[in-house]
Amino acid sequence: MLLTISTDHRPASDLGFLLHKHPDRFQSFDLSFGKAHVYYPEVGADRCTACLMLDVDAVGMVRGKNPDQNFLLAQALQGRCKDRPELVATPLPLEARLDVLCVRGGEAVLRGMFEPLGYAVEAVRHPLDERFPEWGESLYFSVMVRNTVTLSDLLTHLYVLIPVFDTRKHYFVGDDEMEKLLAKGEGWLARHPLKDEIARRFLRFQPSLYRMALSRLVVEEEPVEGEDETPAPERAEETLETPLSLNEQRLMSVVAALRACGAKRVLDLGCGEGKLLRELLKDRQFEQILGMDVSVRTLEVAARRLKLDRLPDHQAGRVKVVHGSLMYRDKRLAGFDAASVVEVVEHLDPPRLTAFERVLFEFAKPRTVVLTTPNSEFNVTWETLPAGQFRHADHRFEWTRQEFQNWATGIAARFGYAVRFLPVGPEHPEYGSPTQMAIFHRDGGEGVTPWKP
């Protein structure tokens, strides 16, 4: 692979100081996985370009205990420059070109990874031999990314994302790889809208590793003490300028529905790591909030996310998390105004849906239930999702809009609720929205809104 980094910062020769390599010398280094060659094809006051060419020894990579232990840009990556320390924190207009990069998922994956970090992306797919059209499209791209960032940030982003695009690592992936991901992702990965996918790919889809990494990222993304003291106009501007992920849109839609029904006592069933609980806690309308989940580990993460051990008394009395199953009648769930069930039902085995329905709609029977689930029709719009596969490995099923309507209207008729349906996320003219939401309400306050294709 050839990595080229250029800048038109003046003086452009500052790039040589940051990379710790003299622009007038061609240098080669022995690494644990082969050789690296560094040279400067372009050096001037107005523009400087540095090239790093990796000659990978696949056998050495497998044998090496730590494939990046002698990484020649380690000092630049760590943000150190003995000769010009003031340059380390200086954002520079940088462009990086990668030839040739294997990208599983195509250009959409490239943009989804780089653009949230502020990069402009140009990508050219390398054609396969046209004599063999049955081979399909090439996985290989020449990629150019541009941004005004510190060199350390650029190298850190590349360090994490380059292995993410290919997903095939030729050495053992264990706890040390997770520690690398967390160390190099510090300060930016927790806020990336595709952090889940980045962790999965970087850690070669090993569930125990990426789940642990994500749980630690959840803790690291918590706001620092006193963050709420930031002036409101600045917070509003930051919110407007930050692209919303589908999960954020889903949470805001659920909160809006709960607020609109006037609920004061709210259940969050399958609360997971507490993201919705945190949003509910921000709104004083919700006087009592109970989160329940079957996973003890995720409840521990939720407790840390909500800082339950540090909440002031008036806040601590509003929220509680409990361990429990949606398969069994539970007296703790009775007497609430509303319940949210966000991306939960698709994780249940279909034969168990009947038990869940009775637990929620017959026994707990809140006045309002807000329930979301994926719209399987929308899946074809994601290039990275192979045909016929679910969005998550733990999904037992995913419904079309018609299937979801049939299930929800049957529930409403059986347990005395009315129901209406709302889309969540950007709507495709043919496939609808990525998430579908049903709002159940009893006492005859709302009628059934029929689904329309």
DSSP state of 207: H
pLDDT at residue 137, as a whole number: 74
Rounded CA separation 322/316 (Å): 14
pLDDT at residue 27, as a whole number: 61
| Mean pLDDT within 48-75 | 55
pLDDT at residue 375, as a whole number: 94
Q: Where in the chain is the domain with CATH 3.40.50.150?
A: 246-442
pLDDT category, 205, cuts 50, 70, 90? low
CA nearest neighbour of 411 among 344, 339, 356:
356
Options 3.40.50.150, 1.10.10.10, 3.90.110.10, 3.40.50.620; CATH of 246-442: 3.40.50.150
Tokens of 256: 């809006």
User: What is the SS3 assignment for 247?
Assistant: helix
In this predicted model, what pLDDT tens digit does every residue of 403-427 receive, in sequence order? Answer: 999 999 999 999 999 999 999 988 8
Q: Where in the chain is the domain with CATH 3.30.1610.20?
A: 2-171
pLDDT category, 225, cuts 50, 70, 90? very low
Residue 369, phi-psi category: left (phi > 0), alpha (psi -120 to 50), beta (remainder): beta
CA angle 216, 219, 224 (to 5 degrees): 145
CATH 3.30.1610.20 fits 2-171, yes or no: yes
Most confident of 18-27, 63-72, 171-180: 171-180
pLDDT at residue 365, as a whole number: 95
| Mean pLDDT within 253-270 | 95
Beta strand spans in 254-398 (E): 265-269, 288-293, 319-323, 338-342, 368-374
| Mean pLDDT within 260-280 | 94
C-beta of residue 163 within 8 angstroms of C-beta of residue 169: yes
pLDDT at residue 69, as a whole number: 40
CA angle 367, 371, 374 (to 5 degrees): 170
pLDDT tops 90 at residue 436: yes
Rounded CA separation 428/423 (Å): 11
In this predicted model, what pLDDT tens digit does every residue of 352-383 receive, in sequence order? Answer: 899 999 999 999 999 999 999 999 999 898 87
pLDDT at residue 394, as a whole number: 81
